[in-house]
Amino acid sequence: MRSRGVLMDEAAALAGLWAQATSVAVLTGAGISTDSGISDFRGPNGLWTRNPGAQAMFDISVYMRDAEVRRQAWANRRANPAWTAQPNRGHLALAALQQSDRVQTLMTQNIDGLHQRAGSRDVLELHGTIWEVVCMACGLRWPTPEVLAREEDDPPCTACGGILKTATVSFGQALDQAVLEAAVRGTKRAELLVTVGTSLQVNPVAGLAGLADRLVIVNAEETPYDAEAELVVRGSISDVLAAVADVLG
Ligand code: NAD
């Protein structure tokens, strides 16, 4: 992390680029929600950094064939801090920037719904949402709190008996094509793409960074796209975005 003075200089540089751009797309990842108490996967305190084995639970073929993995996944869902988490200064700054027409496309890999709770609209949820459950057999959907309220350790679909899962994208599952296409269009249309709190390691979403005309990366750690970025801001997302929103009003 940079010293606070250097970080604020970088935030000012980002605000300058942001102000000049005719249109801006923003892509967020798990790092924007760590200040709301939700762990990321690959950061220093990430779920997978602490427990690399946990990654298997996010593989769709393992989830579909192994009832024990599903029971563990449901226990984890129940305990997910996202149910009570509040948006932080990073989410609120992006909502304010969108409100003042400084963000034309807001894309997220997050599944926690915190951008919407901060007031953002038209959020492209590239990896789905934990707020809905979908039947893997018949496609019926429910709000997740309703399914959790059943208090079953591996709740089946009440219509067809199929396996239920949150409406999130696991490894081995395709992204929603329409959402991905909208993200590609939004990125190509923008003069500037700002990526925030993502390690940019998983395609196809990470590939959006390669489509950008001009790229800025805000992230505490290195990413594979740092060399392509016009500016890399290596510091607290909440501090940086709040400073940008202050400057741009
Ligand atoms: P990631 O875990 O791979 O990377 C997060 C990055 O954010 C890390 O490089 C970390 O150093 C940085 N970071 C964390 N907190 C920060 C802070 N306060 N300031 C600056 N940088 C910070 O995340 P990813 O690239 O989004 O990929 C993980 C996948 O996991 C995504 O697909 C996402 O759907 C999912 N996920 C979502 C949530 C959520 O919805 N909140 C949480 C965990 C994982």
Residue 168: partners with Cβ closer than 8 Å, 6 or more residues away: 111, 127, 128, 129, 130
Residue nearest to atom 39 of ligand 1 (CA): 110
Mutate to test the pocket of ligand 1, among 32, 41, 226 (most ligand atoms within 8 A of CB): 41
Q: Residue 113 — pLDDT band, cuts 50, 70, 90?
A: very high
Residue 17: how many CB atoms within 10 A of its CB? 17
**Mean per-residue pLDDT of the chain:** 96
Same domain, 193 and 243: yes
Same domain, 225 and 146: no
30-44 per-position pLDDT tens digit: 999 999 999 999 898
Same domain, 114 and 227: yes
Mean pLDDT of 45-55: 86
Same domain, 1 and 66: no
192, pLDDT greater than 90: yes
pLDDT of the residue at 232:
97
Cis bond before residue 52 (omega within 30° of 0): no
Distance (angstroms) between ligand 1 centre and the Cα of 90 equals 13
Contact yes or no for 17/233 (Cβ under 8 A):
no
Q: Residue 51 — pLDDT band, cuts 50, 70, 90?
A: confident
Q: Residue 5 — pLDDT band, cuts 50, 70, 90?
A: confident
Structural domain for 52, as ranges: 41-84+130-168
Same domain, 221 and 195: yes
Mean pLDDT of 8-25: 96
CATH of the domain at 58: 3.30.1600.10
Residue 155: DSSP 8-state: P
In ligand 1, which atom is closest to the CA atom of 44?
Answer: 11
168, pLDDT greater than 70: yes
In ligand 1, which atom is closest to the CA atom of 38?
Answer: 41
Same domain, 152 and 222: no
Same domain, 47 and 121: no
Q: Specify whether 115 is catalytic.
A: no
**Which residue out of 127, 200, 240, 243 is catalytically annotated?**
127
Distance (angstroms) between ligand 1 centre and the Cα of 158 equals 34
What's the length of the chain?
249
CA distance 93 to 33: 13
7, pLDDT greater than 90: no
Same domain, 142 and 214: no
Which residues does ligand 1 sit against, CB inside 6 Å? 29-31, 33-35, 38, 40-43, 46, 109-112, 127, 197-199, 201, 219-221, 236-237
Contact yes or no for 159/135 (Cβ under 8 A):
yes
- 121 by Cβ neighbours in 10 Å (0-12 / 13-18 / 19+) ranks as exposed
Mean pLDDT of 122-146: 98
Same domain, 57 and 116: no
Q: Residue 45 — pLDDT band, cuts 50, 70, 90?
A: confident
What tokens does 178 get? Answer: 């329409």
Q: CA nearest 161: which of 141, 137, 132?
A: 137
Distance (angstroms) between ligand 1 centre and the Cα of 146 equals 27
Same domain, 137 and 232: no
Which of 30-34, 161-165, 245-249 bottoms out in mean pLDDT, i.e. has the lowest? 245-249
- Which of 150, 168, 186 is the C-terminal boundary of a domain? 168
- Which of 115, 145, 168 is the C-terminal boundary of a domain? 168
Same domain, 21 and 108: yes
Q: Residue 185 — pLDDT band, cuts 50, 70, 90?
A: very high
1, pLDDT greater than 60: no
In ligand 1, which atom is closest to the CA atom of 82?
Answer: 41
pLDDT of the residue at 2:
67
- Which of 116, 149, 168 is the C-terminal boundary of a domain? 168
Half-sphere exposure of 46 (CA within 13 A, CB side): 20
Percent of the chain with pLDDT over 90: 90
- The SS3 call for residue 173 is coil
Same domain, 17 and 103: yes
Distance (angstroms) between ligand 1 centre and the Cα of 236 equals 13
CATH of the domain at 119: 3.40.50.1220
Mutate to test the pocket of ligand 1, among 32, 40, 80 (most ligand atoms within 8 A of CB): 40
Count structural domains, the chain: 2
Residue 22: DSSP 8-state: S
